[in-house]
Structure 1
Amino acid sequence: MYAVLAVGLAALSLEPPHSTPLWPMVLLGIGGLAALTIRHRYPRLSFGAAVTLSVLSLACGSGAESLLAVVAVYSAGARHKGRIAWLSFGIAMASAAIGAVALSMRGTVGPPILGLAPRILGRDPLLDWANVFLIIAAVLLIVALLGTNAGHRRRYIGELVVRAERLARERDQQVEIARALERERIAREMHDVIAHSLSVIIAVSDGAHAAADDRPAEAKAAIARVAETGRRALGEVRRLLGSVRDDGGSAQEHEPQPDASRLATLAGEFVAAGLPVRLTVAGTPSTDPGLGLTVYRIVQESLTNVLRHARQVRAVTVTVAWTADDVTIHVRDDGPPIAAGTEEGRGLLGIRERVALYGGTVDAGPDVEGGWRVLARLRSGDPQS
């Protein structure tokens, strides 16, 4: 566009009787093309060249280079924020004032542009300057407003795109965190179910093997308990796997989650496996199913650890005390003394994680009177997020 305008104005300026020298217009045209070429890579240099060439064009050229100042002001407004954009506009206005002086003087002492000077310029230099400057200033102001508005819209849309991308990343991160937490929860549940069931099965199987010759009826009953424990464990594993597998199955196909109301049944299973458990429950259990499941799993894991690791245990006491604000779980066996500093297994780590979920505390380790004890206290409120 600039090249077409420059050639057209130059051709008109060369027509007699008010012809303008050719070589200034050629140099100004080359300089204008160079300024347009480098405006993306060197915007400051291009802006300076544009306002300079526009003044020179008004002084001795065809005036086509005035378009460069218009493009430069628009680009500055679109590319930069308010302060730099309006500073560029101020520089362009200063060059416009100088260019208006050159054009008003050109109407009397130099070659006119297109022969129009006699019609737009009079004999009063100050009035001529004011007329030309007001026209140029109005054009530059309109262009500056258009450029700043375009730049504001472009930056606003860019910020919206960046924000949308950031929200998408955060959403994906939250999904990954939720998946990791769900995997950890399922792994913890699987550990509790499988470790408890296998410990009971092993203990009962050992008893059945020992009684197979002398007490076949007791061995037969023990084998039945092994089968029942295995079926129950298989059902819980299927329920856990079904909660993460999209197979169209309904929740009614699986057993409900265990809770505090099944503690007596849990203790009976360990008694049947040969562990002398004495259960005491005080207070009214909470109706929160999550808290009930947590209490059940803590007792289950504690008794499983006793069944797997304790030797010469004569009694295991389990005390669950409910209050309006919290619940206290105390599991203790009277086995032989255990060395301090015994490494905690995954089961105790799972207990600590469950207790921390309800903002509670847990103290697990060798008891001063021998054996092992687990003392956990959980708040009855909502679990911490």
Structure 2
Amino acid sequence: MRPGTVSGTSVRVPLRGRLHRRMSRTRVLDLVTLGTYGALAVGLMVLSSEPPYVTPLWAMILLLAGGIAAVSIRRRFPRAAFAAAMALSVLSLAVGSGAESLLAVIAMYTVGVRQRAATAWLCFGIAMACGAFGALAISVRGSVGPPILGLEPPMVARDSVQDWANVYVVIGVILLITTLIGTNVGHRRRYINELVHRADQLARERDQQAETARALERERIAREMHDVIAHSLTVMITISDGAYASLDERPQEAKEAIARVAETGRRTLGEVRRLLGSVRNDGGATIAEHAPQPDASQLASLVRQFVDAGLPVRLTVTGSPSSDAALGLTVYRIIQESLTNVLRHATDVSSVSVTVSWTQTDVTIDVRDVSSPVVASSDSGRGLLGMQERVALYDGEIEAGPQESGGWRVVARLRGEEK
């Protein structure tokens, strides 16, 4: 795999890095939030200890401790933190310095960022209800005390309802703005996370598809190698045996047989180079070294090779061959494998017939031999399996087995595109 691509291993490293950076940013943000609240609470506590805004110190200390706890647990226990923030904000407006009202703002922003929009607006309704009590506490303190920072008990009576309404509107506007900002940020984060997750998933799927394609290509090349090498070696061994047997009595025929062995070996070597070149392209191969794939037009040449090897083969072709090169290659390989099996396993072969019938929609291949009963071999299964896989690509059917009169028969029907 090329450098820079995302594989099953290389995906996890960026994901782990992003998670680590996100956790680091989260910790920094929590510290900043806690520091901001603590500074505000301590500052207002000092100011509220000075006349004329004297507020009970014990109440402010307890509220500060509760606020620190609420901020600290807001990610691990969001519901408890939200409830604590609402309660502390109301109590702070009632008996404290009012610093804990910042907790309600933090809580609403956190809910908007981390929860769905429906949940965020439900929490906004709860916050507005708590805000009504907070506004009521401020209006009461503004009238009868104890004083809160910025509000002194008036010398004359004031309209408490109007004060409550004014404070409630301010609280509502602040909570509304905070909720809108939080939901917008949360929606954007979720959208980006979904895009990142989708990109990682597509990268993994791409790599899986590439691995599947490579596996299929390896299987195809292994099948081609089996067909080429098994056929060629069987022919070469058979011709060599014949040449050895006739070396003393018919030396000229033996020399011709040895020449055919050399020719078959060179041709096989060329096909093997072509197949390996499709797997490993190291820049050393030229176009001239890549011969075209065989097809149905070369069946006569294929049969001639087996005749030269001593196999009495008769070829009959009816109909017009298809122009589909892949279909022609499949027909060629099926016949090649069938004749190779006859040459390798059959004994006392008296005749072999190969019939290829082309029609408008399909092609039928019939290879049968007349010989002694075939002895099963432990290494003969891969060739038949390869033929079955080739036939399956064209939604075809294949039958292979011994005949009652002796010998073996292979019948395959492949469905091609209509001419």
Which category of TM-score, normalised to the shorter sequence, fits these structures? over 0.9
Structure 1's consecutive aligned runs of 4 or more residues displaced over 4 angstroms after TM superposition are: 338-344
Distance in 2 (CA, whole Å) between partners of 1:328 and 1:132 is: 91
- Normalising by the residue count of structure 2, what TM-score does the alignment of the two structures yield? 0.87
1:244 pairs with 257, 279, 288, which one? 279
CA RMSD between the two structures? 1.9
Work out whether 1:25 is the aligned partner of 2:50: no
Q: How far off its partner does 1:33 sit?
A: 1.2
With over 3 angstroms needed to count, the CA separation of the structure-2 counterparts of 1:115 and 1:200, relative to structure 1, is: closer
Are the aligned partners of 1:358 and 1:381 in contact in 2 as well (CA < 8 Å)? no
Q: Where does residue 164 of structure 1 map in the other structure?
A: 199
Distance in 1 (CA, whole Å) between partners of 2:40 and 2:341 is: 91
Q: Where does residue 177 of structure 1 map in the other structure?
A: 212
Deviations 1:324-363 (A, max 9, x none): 1111111000112458999951111100011111111111
With over 3 angstroms needed to count, the CA separation of the structure-2 counterparts of 1:117 and 1:284, relative to structure 1, is: farther
Q: Where does residue 341 of structure 2 map in the other structure?
A: 305
Equivalent position amino acid for 1:220 in 2: K
Distance in 2 (CA, whole Å) between partners of 1:272 and 1:35 is: 93
Work out whether 1:283 is the aligned partner of 2:357: no
Are the aligned partners of 2:394 and 2:415 in contact in 1 as well (CA < 8 Å)? yes
Q: Where does residue 229 of structure 1 map in the other structure?
A: 264
Are the aligned partners of 1:339 and 1:366 in contact in 2 as well (CA < 8 Å)? no
With over 3 angstroms needed to count, the CA separation of the structure-2 counterparts of 1:217 and 1:340, relative to structure 1, is: closer
Are the aligned partners of 1:204 and 1:274 in contact in 2 as well (CA < 8 Å)? yes
Worse-matched range after superposition: 10-19 or 83-92: 10-19
Q: How far off its partner does 1:122 sit?
A: 6.8
Are the aligned partners of 1:337 and 1:370 in contact in 2 as well (CA < 8 Å)? yes
Deviations 1:34-82 (A, max 9, x none): 1111112221111111110000000011111000000001101111112
2:404 pairs with 343, 368, 382, which one? 368
Q: Where does residue 151 of structure 1 map in the other structure?
A: 186
2:357 pairs with 294, 318, 321, which one? 321
With over 3 angstroms needed to count, the CA separation of the structure-2 counterparts of 1:339 and 1:116, relative to structure 1, is: same
Distance in 1 (CA, whole Å) between partners of 2:71 and 2:108 is: 13
Are the aligned partners of 1:54 and 1:66 in contact in 2 as well (CA < 8 Å)? yes
Q: Where does residue 254 of structure 2 map in the other structure?
A: 219
Equivalent position amino acid for 1:37 in 2: S
Unaligned runs of 5+ in 2: 1-35
Distance in 2 (CA, whole Å) between partners of 1:225 and 1:267 is: 14
Q: Where does residue 357 of structure 1 map in the other structure?
A: 393
Equivalent position amino acid for 2:167 in 1: V
% identical equivalent positions: 67
1:10 pairs with 36, 45, 53, which one? 45
Are the aligned partners of 2:352 and 2:368 in contact in 1 as well (CA < 8 Å)? yes
Deviations 1:109-135 (A, max 9, x none): 22222242468x971121111111111
State the SS of the aligned residue for 1:214: coil
Q: Where does residue 294 of structure 1 map in the other structure?
A: 330
Work out whether 1:270 is the aligned partner of 2:296: no
Unaligned runs of 5+ in 1: none
Distance in 2 (CA, whole Å) between partners of 1:357 and 1:343 is: 24
Distance in 2 (CA, whole Å) between partners of 1:193 and 1:304 is: 10
1:87-236 → structure 2 map (5 Å cutoff): 87-117=122-152, 123-236=158-271
With over 3 angstroms needed to count, the CA separation of the structure-2 counterparts of 1:245 and 1:212, relative to structure 1, is: same
State the SS of the aligned residue for 1:336: coil
State the SS of the aligned residue for 1:20: coil
Q: Where does residue 347 of structure 1 map in the other structure?
A: 383
Q: How far off its partner does 1:251 sit?
A: 3.2
Are the aligned partners of 2:114 and 2:186 in contact in 1 as well (CA < 8 Å)? yes
Are the aligned partners of 1:275 and 1:316 in contact in 2 as well (CA < 8 Å)? yes
Distance in 1 (CA, whole Å) between partners of 2:245 and 2:205 is: 59
Q: How far off its partner does 1:259 sit?
A: 0.8
Distance in 1 (CA, whole Å) between partners of 2:346 and 2:157 is: 114
Q: Where does residue 105 of structure 2 map in the other structure?
A: 70
1:333 pairs with 353, 357, 369, which one? 369
Distance in 1 (CA, whole Å) between partners of 2:406 and 2:123 is: 85
Q: How far off its partner does 1:279 sit?
A: 0.1
With over 3 angstroms needed to count, the CA separation of the structure-2 counterparts of 1:192 and 1:339, relative to structure 1, is: closer
Distance in 1 (CA, whole Å) between partners of 2:84 and 2:366 is: 85
Are the aligned partners of 1:340 and 1:365 in contact in 2 as well (CA < 8 Å)? no
Are the aligned partners of 2:145 and 2:152 in contact in 1 as well (CA < 8 Å)? no
Are the aligned partners of 2:141 and 2:153 in contact in 1 as well (CA < 8 Å)? no
Deviations 1:259-306 (A, max 9, x none): 111100110110010000000011111111111111111100000000
State the SS of the aligned residue for 2:412: strand
Distance in 2 (CA, whole Å) between partners of 1:341 and 1:223 is: 28
Distance in 2 (CA, whole Å) between partners of 1:64 and 1:269 is: 98
Are the aligned partners of 1:104 and 1:128 in contact in 2 as well (CA < 8 Å)? yes
Distance in 2 (CA, whole Å) between partners of 1:17 and 1:324 is: 105
Distance in 2 (CA, whole Å) between partners of 1:109 and 1:63 is: 17
